[in-house]
Structure 1
Amino acid sequence: MGRRHTRGGTVTVVGNGPVGQTTALLLARWGIPVTLLDARAERDPIGSKAICQQRDVLEVWDAIGVGRQLADEGVTWGCARTFHRDHELFAQTFVDRGISSFPPFVNISQARTEELLDERIAATPSIDVRWGYEATSVDQDETGVTITCRTGSGEETVTSDYAVVAVGSRGSAIRRQLGVTFDGRSFDDKFLICDIAADIPGWADERRFYFDPEWNPGRQVLIHPCPDSTFRIDWQVPGEYDLEAEEKSGALDARIRKIIGDTDYRIVWKSVYRFHSRVANRMRVDRVLLAGDAAHIVSPFGARGLNSGVADAENAAWKLAFVLRGWAGESLLETYHTERHAAAVENIAVTTATMDFLVPQSEDQHRHRRHVLTAAVTDPEARARVDSGRLAEPFWYVESPVTTIDPQRPFAGRPERGCTPAAAPGILVPDTPVTLQGGAGSRLRAIARHGILLLVGDGVDVDEIRSAALDTVHTPIRLVRLSEIDSTGVLTAALDAKPGEVWVIRPDAYVAAVTDTVDGLMSALRRVTLQ
């Protein structure tokens, strides 16, 4: 038996992929020491993998120092075009209710994302990275978590107060130990993915989705631009598809040339996947939280995999930090499961509907698809029923126990694709530039991510609100008058904020409550921290 590590307000993160990396960096940002384990001996930067990063995820990464560089290095796009054969059906753009400093989506390889996150981790002394630590068992009691690992020198145990398991889709053994099921379905058709280095004018700043093109009849093709004149091309192929045989016969080259013509190209990476749609029945088991693909896997049409995993990471990190720092009751951790499991179920519903349209499972679904695609060429109503993947968006925590519902701002349900709900409790607050005391410039979400933020409207007694807040909870609270930080009125308009209101913003920049009474504020703060 190897050495045993002592506890002390610590978290072990199992899995050093982008979700685990993000979790570790966010915890370190809150002052929580982290041990970051991975079964691999070293990083394996092969292939583009998860390439499509959504605006709000870039803002999370910006809080840990990599969002801006990822956006600058990646290919930005704000238009998603969908075609049926040679007819363009629609071009989807994306609504920003605020004035974000990031584009709707940025394409950059997962390998580069991991590289930048590794650099930040290397510069963070409170994160202890251990490669070659394969977690073989997870045990816990009322005092902490013990993870037994197989290493090159034998067996070692790592102990901590809590653990986050972010081992990707390879988490079956740990899920079984925790008594967690992973129900769902798998899809028969496969998808061939190739990263192609080529010069294709006009395709460098938009996502293109083709139903039934002449170069893949009866199936789909998705094309994403990536940095360095590289394009990610996904072909839907039959379940019996053999990549090795197609490559040897020259048919793979012919497949690519049908799309790009005589243009010179080079295959940077290629792979074949069969997609799955599964979600864990529990994302929290006592002191262990599941995150990312260890908790949910979805088809990539909609870019909801890594983007939702980063949202898991932020949700887990601030709640673990608040519990470990004594700022919230331990029951706050149960809301991690409540909120992120609901988000996972929503992603499963959205992506399963997409896959049923892309890969019909019955004659009725085939008939529906043929009718919709044929009609969509001329009928706008039919175009709205074409499902080429509802692209990643933040989930809304309107039914969370942490959220105080405002009857004046009811949630209208899932918005149209490309849109976001109006600002209200349970919704990610719109981001806008703000001006701080002394004239320094910042952004709303940046100042929100340091604790609980109170945005105070005109007509509110700031001293009374501050006193009530400090008497109610013992957590970092920042109180700012809305009119003083919003000199242009853009933020006030984005919130549709009224005089006399106080907006309570969570540490992950979600609106927790809107209230116009001191009692309402105190109740909302207790709800956020479950004190």
Structure 2
Amino acid sequence: MDPVVVIGAGPVGLTAALLLARWGVPALVLERRPAREAIGSRSICQQRDVLDIWAAAGAGAVADEGLAWTTARTYFRGTELFSWRFADAGTLPACVNISQSRTEAILEAAAAAEDLVEIRRGREVTGVEQDGSGVVLRCADGSAVRAPYAIACSGGHAGIRDALGIAFPGETFADRFLIVDLRADLPGWEHERRFYFDPPWNPGRQVLIHPCPGSRYRIDWQVPPGFSLADEMGGGLDRRVRQIIGARPYEVTWASVYTFQSRVAERMRAGRVLLAGDCAHLYAPFGARGLNSGVPDAENAAWKIAFVARGWAPPALLASYDAERGAAAAENLAVTSATMRFLVPATDEGWTARRRALERAAADPAAASAIDSGRFAEPFWYTASPLTTPEPSRPPTGRPPKGALQPPAPGVIVPDAPLRAAPPWAPGATRLRELLRDGFTLLLAADAECGADGGFEDAAPGVPLRVLRPAALAATGALATALGLRPGEVWLVRPDAHLAAVLPRPSRPAVIAALRRALGHTIQETAAQ
């Protein structure tokens, strides 16, 4: 099998390559940088479902090494407005903070240990050509590579979009943000994210503080459009830090200044090329929706390309990539843009409304719901996907409160849950999702009937499909209860752990129909793709 080309060796590209290899599909990674840049925290917050994907890709060390934080606090001047905690589920932490450079190092080590992944550095892709059987990628050094498919994970400034004729509409925010990594001992702050509106040490603007491993902290200051980091190094930076941490010793390990953008590609698929990560979308960081969206992009692209390449699904399955991840990008854009409109209003009227909302919340905790300091990243729900079979008895309920778990419904990711007994074919498994990423899975309630526990190969020959009864994995039935399986139900779970269908009155024809739909057999390709 010819390798699929992955453009870019950042966290999203390496994830895509590792997951392709997990499906037995070789991956060739083309990276323009001659070496990995091991500087700065950059994208630090990784949520539970992304840690789960990395565990499946062989990079579980990200969760092991990251610092798990549990509480998010929001302040206005000297008053705490509210706080929230993550709901507990499974055995992975709800979120860890870890520098992007360390995450890349872990993923790169996993790729180096994988025979089906090759990384070629110093290869900047500058041109793309396609025909009915493959893609030709031309590099700045004059070399060219032909591949059956490509996943573009080349970052926000990717010329690959121009080569594909894909527009990247959006906006750039005028305000700048000073990002500082420092090492210090701050007792009581080790497991809390702190967000400050209008603190006395940054009046009229915001400050965000995140704990990181090794007594390190990441501090983000909103600064005026004309801010200069070079001028700040004359003593201004020390004053900023001292205003927050006092006289404690500290060391700055990295500092940079950013402007944030909100952009989404007009489409995330062009024929045999799929766009992922910053190549497809850029968001303001409040809510950590950048890398936490890019990694699910990579997973979605990898399993679909693998299923088509191995003959398990029709080529039309690839059309669902844009339908699903494009919708996810649009939701993330809407959420982060709303946050930025609250953080950085565009008009005097907006600033006045923001100040009044903060003052009301400081006086009345019931008014805190009007304060937007960023809704933390969460898995997208594929409720409107062409691969999802709707079920009236399990309608989507809308997003739950911050930190809460989603109720099961078609299109929603399956809740993770600890196992009290692992099946013989996965003796080391400790949680449910470790059993769900080897193909499609049928989860059966204890009393569910749908014929023999198998025998669906004639609907999709060769497709990996496993049947599990959660009651058999936990003698007390606690697992089925944690999942929310109702009596008689059968759940069809996709290779990315999302529910493709919930069948309350299962029958063999119903299971076959849901499986065929989840494989893309009912999708009609459009000329635009």
TM-score past 0.5 threshold: yes
Equivalent position of 1:247 in the other structure? 233
Aligned with 2:151: secondary structure? strand
- The answer on 1:291 being equivalent to 2:276 is yes
Tell me, yes or no, if structure 1 residue 92 matches structure 2 residue 84.
Answer: yes
Name the CA distance, whole Å, in 1 between partners of 2:250 and 2:200: 21
Per the alignment, residue 219 of structure 1 pairs with 205
Q: Which residue of 2 aligns with 1:484?
A: 472
2:495 maps to 1:502: no
CA distance in 2, matches of 1:37, 1:234: 32
Which shifted more, 444-453 or 380-389?
Answer: 380-389
- Output the CA distance in 2 between the equivalents of 1:351 and 1:400: 22
- Output the amino acid matched with 2:304: K
Structure 1 equivalent of residue 183 of structure 2: 197
SS in 2 for 1:472: coil
Which residue in the other structure is 2:525 paired with? Answer: none
Alignment of 1:95-174 (within 5 A): 95-96=87-88, 99-151=89-141, 155-171=142-158, 173-174=159-160
Q: CA–CA distance in 2 between the matches of 1:201 and 1:126? A: 45
SS at match of 2:163: helix
Correspondence for 1:17: 10
The yes-or-no answer on 1:368 pairing with 2:353 is: yes
Q: TM-score, normalised by structure 2?
A: 0.95
Q: Counterpart amino acid of 2:407?
A: A
- 1:355 is aligned to 2:340: yes
1:310 aligns with 2:295: yes
Distance 2:305 2:103 in 1: 24
Query: Could you tell me whether the CA contact under 8 Å between 1:284 and 1:337 is conserved in 2?
Result: yes
Residue deviations 1:161-215 (CA, integer Å, cap 9, x gap):
00000001121x2111211110011111000000011111111111000000000
- Equivalent residues in 2 for 1:413-492, closer than 5 Å: 413-434=398-419, 435-438=421-424, 440=427, 442=429, 443-461=431-449, 463-464=451-452, 466-467=454-455, 469-474=456-461, 475-492=463-480
- Cα displacement string for residues 91-139 of structure 1 (whole angstroms, at most 9, x for unaligned residues): 111224xx31111110000011011111111101111110000101011
Paired AA for residue 168 in structure 1: G
Task: State the alpha-carbon separation in 1 of the partners of residues 392 and 449 from structure 2.
Answer: 23
Q: Specify the SS of the correspondent of 2:492.
A: strand
Shift of residue 64, structure 1, vs aligned partner: 1.6
CA contact (8 A) 2:445 2:480 kept: no
Size of the aligned set, in residue pairs, is: 515
Letter in 1 for 2:445: G
Alignment-derived partner of residue 38 in structure 2:
45
Question: TM-score when scaled to structure 1?
Answer: 0.95
Asked if structure 2 preserves the Cα contact closer than 8 Å seen for 1:302 and 1:351, the reply is yes
* CA distance in 2 between partners of 1:44 and 1:287 (Å): 30
Instruction: Provide the rounded CA distance (Å) in 1 between the counterparts of 2:53 and 2:219.
Output: 28
- Distance in 1 separating the partners of 2:233 and 2:367: 38
Pair 245,455 (structure 1): closer, same or farther in 2 beyond 3 Å: same
Contact conserved, 2:320 with 2:520, CA < 8 A, in 1?
A: no
Written as runs of structure 1 = structure 2, the 5 A alignment for 1:380-391 is 380-391=365-376
> Which residues of structure 2 form unaligned runs of 5+?
522-529
What is the CA–CA distance in structure 1 between the aligned matches of 2:265 and 2:376, rounded to whole Å?
22
Please tell me whether the aligned partners of residues 82 and 365 of structure 2 are also in contact (alpha carbons under 8 angstroms): no
**Cα offset, 1:236, TM superposition:** 0.2
Deviation by residue 1:482-527 (Cα, 9 ceiling, x = unmatched): 3212323233223321222211000000011011222221110011
CA distance in 2, matches of 1:56, 1:488: 26
The reply to whether residue 280 of structure 1 matches residue 265 of structure 2 is yes
Q: Residue 458 of structure 1 contacts residue 483 of structure 1 at CA under 8 Å; is this kept in 2?
A: yes
The structural deviation recorded for 1:418 is 1.6
SS state at 1:214 partner: coil
- What SS is found at the alignment partner of 1:195? strand
Pairwise CA distance, 1:335: 0.6
Secondary structure of residue in 2 paired with 1:133 = coil
Q: Is the 8 A contact 2:454 2:466 kept in 1?
A: no
* Matches of 1:476 and 1:9, distance apart in 2: 21
Q: Matched residues in 2 for 1:437 and 1:166: separation?
A: 36
Aligned-residue offset at 1:413: 1.7
Cα deviations by residue, 1:68-100 (Å, 9 ceiling, x for unpaired): x2222221111101011111111111224xx31
Report if the CA contact (8 A) 2:323-2:385 is conserved.
yes
8 A Cα contact 1:423 1:494, kept in partner: no
Report the RMSD for the aligned CA atoms in angstroms. Answer: 1.3
Change (3 A) 1:499 1:441: farther
CA contact (8 A) 1:9 1:324 kept: no
Corresponding letter in the other structure for 1:492: A
Aligned match of 1:344: 329
Q: Provide the C-alpha distance between the structure 1 equivalents of 2:488 and 2:218, rounded to a whole number of angstroms.
A: 51
Quick check: 1:137–1:177 contact (8 Å CA) kept in 2?
A: yes
The residue type paired with residue 201 of structure 2 is: W
Does structure 1 conserve the Cα–Cα contact (< 8 Å) formed by 2:178 and 2:220?
yes
Work out the CA distance in 2 between the residues paired with 1:225 and 1:165.
32
| Contact preservation (8 Å) 1:166, 1:294 | yes
1:63 has 2:25 as partner: no
1:527 pairs with one of 497, 517, 524 = 517
Q: Which stretch shows the higher mean deviation, 127-136 or 485-494? A: 485-494
Distance across 2 between alignment mates of 1:373 and 1:298: 24
Alignment correspondent of 1:513: 501
Alpha carbons 1:433, 1:441 under 8 Å: kept: no
Code of the residue aligned with 1:190 in structure 2: it is R
The question of whether the paired residues in 2 share the 8 Å contact of 1:302 and 1:391 is answered with yes
Task: State how far apart, in whole Å, the 2-side matches of 1:529 and 1:256 are.
Answer: 53
Checking the alignment, whether the CA contact within 8 Å between 2:177 and 2:257 is kept in structure 1 is: yes
Residues 441 and 492 in structure 2, CA contact (< 8 A), matched pair in contact too? yes
Provide the C-alpha distance between the structure 2 equivalents of 1:297 and 1:487, rounded to a whole number of angstroms.
46
Corresponding residue for residue 5 of structure 1: none
Deviation at 1:26, TM superposition (A): 0.4
- Secondary structure of 2:177 counterpart: strand
Q: Secondary structure at the match of 2:9?
A: coil
- Listed one character per residue, the Cα deviations across residues 275-319 of structure 1 (whole Å, up to 9, x for unaligned) are 000000110111000000000000011110011000101111111
Deviations 1:397-454 (A, max 9, x none): 1000111111001112222222232011100100112323459462211111000000
SS in 1 for 2:218: strand
* Residues 447-492 of structure 1 deviation map (CA, whole Å, 9 limit, x = unaligned): 110000001223334644522x222112000012232123232332
Which deviates further from its counterpart, 512-521 or 482-491? 482-491
1:74 alignment partner in structure 2: 66
Contact 1:83/1:89 (8 A) holds in 2: yes
The whole-number CA distance in structure 1 between the counterparts of 2:213 and 2:470 is: 40
